[in-house]
Amino acid sequence: AYIDALPFIRGEYVLMGDADCTYDFRQLAAFMERFHDGYEYVMGSRFQGYIEPGSMPVLHQYFGTPVTTSILNFLYGSRFSDIHCGMRGITLDALRRMDLQSHSWEYASEMVLKSVRMQLRTTEVPVRFLKDEQGRLSHHKRSGWSSPWQAAWINLKAMFIHGADFFLYRPGLLLLFMGLLLTVPMSLGPVTVGPITFSLHWMLLGLTLCVLGLHGIYVGALARLFSDYSGETRRRWLTRFSYTRSVVLSAVVVAAGAGLGIPLVVRYIHSGFRLSAIFPADHLAIAGLLLVIGGFMNFTFTLAIHAAAANLKRK
């Protein structure tokens, strides 16, 4: 309904609420006051207002809603107290820019998290939540015991999908740092710290961490691009990875990595195509392999981000 009604809305503000008599629409004045104060998204909060005894299942009130709200706040750095409140308000302009896509329970989370992504001026107002009218069963009760769990999973899926960069970009930076910490010091040979000698096998672990880290960083950057509503992220990444400079840098890095592997290839040929002992050239070759992989990944990321940016710009 909130998607199909967009072409027919004539007012400046859109106020939403479940039409099952569980919300007190006499409290709309509080929403309008916030709009007149300059806020673009006004979220109702049952926990800041009043929850009539028996109106909300105990599992929802003390576990489901607080947990999913906390997860969203943690992922997006927001400070909501009730993301599933069915009473909320938004300016018509912001609602159109949100380009909402959800057709199920996740609409509640999608609207909230996009308000954060769009950096809308947001606030909360307390609302009253009342029991169902006598004889009426809520959708969850009619659908059975699994319905609330399905709704929770659908909402979590929306949070994770729209917050993909949280699980990719930041962990990627950490993995890359750890990988470089293992790889770079051993590029010229084994390193001994106390009773432990770090050699080729540790370096291979560092190489793996670096590759995983670079993958997370690049895919996370693309995820950020698709959740960019201001265009600032797109401009920043295109500046950092300008096509010509990035392609040239990738080529230089790949060439340097291939060059570091030459001593190992020469020794391999001179030894009758057998490697029986570990030499410093082996460590250089691993460092060179990392440069080759990193350079190629940087090249493909440059192509992908410029293609994505061009497509988003057309839209």
Handedness of CA 10, 15, 21, 24 (dihedral sign): negative
pLDDT at 20: 83
Complete DSSP assignment for 135-202: T---HHHHH-TTHHHHHHHHHHHHHHHHTHHHHHHHHHHHHHHHHHHHHGGGTTS-EEETTEEE-HHH
pLDDT on residue 135: 63
Q: Which domains does the chain have, with CATH numbers?
A: 6-162 (3.90.550.10), 164-314 (no CATH)
The residue whose two tokens read 């057309």 is 314
Contacts of 30 (CB under 8 A, 6+ apart): 125, 126
CB-side exposure of 89: number of CA atoms within 13 Å?
A: 27
Q: Which two tokens stand for residue 35?
A: 């709009």
pLDDT of amino acid 109:
83
- pLDDT under 50: residue ranges of the chain: none
Written as one string, the DSSP assignment of 54-93 is TSS-HHIIIIIHHHHHHHHHHHHT---S-TT-S-EEEEHH
Q: How many CB atoms lie within 10 A of CB 298?
A: 19
What is the pLDDT, as a whole number, of residue 285? 93
In this prediction, residue 250 carries a pLDDT of 97
Residue 197 CB burial class (10 angstroms; 0-12, 13-18, ≥19): exposed
Phi, psi dihedral angles at 49 (to 5 degrees): -105, -120
Q: Whole-angstrom Cα distance, residue 301 to residue 303?
A: 5
Chain segment 181-221, per-residue pLDDT in tens: 999 999 988 888 888 888 889 999 999 999 999 999 999 99
DSSP single-letter state for residue 42:
E
Structure tokens at 125: 């107002």
**Residue given tokens 């698709």 in the structure block:** 226
CB 41 within 8 A of CB 113: no
What pLDDT, on the 0 to 100 scale, is given for residue 160? 86
Nearest-angstrom CA–CA distance, 230 and 117: 9
Give the separation between CA 51 and CA 69, rounded to whole angstroms. 17
Residue 294: both structure tokens together: 């990193």
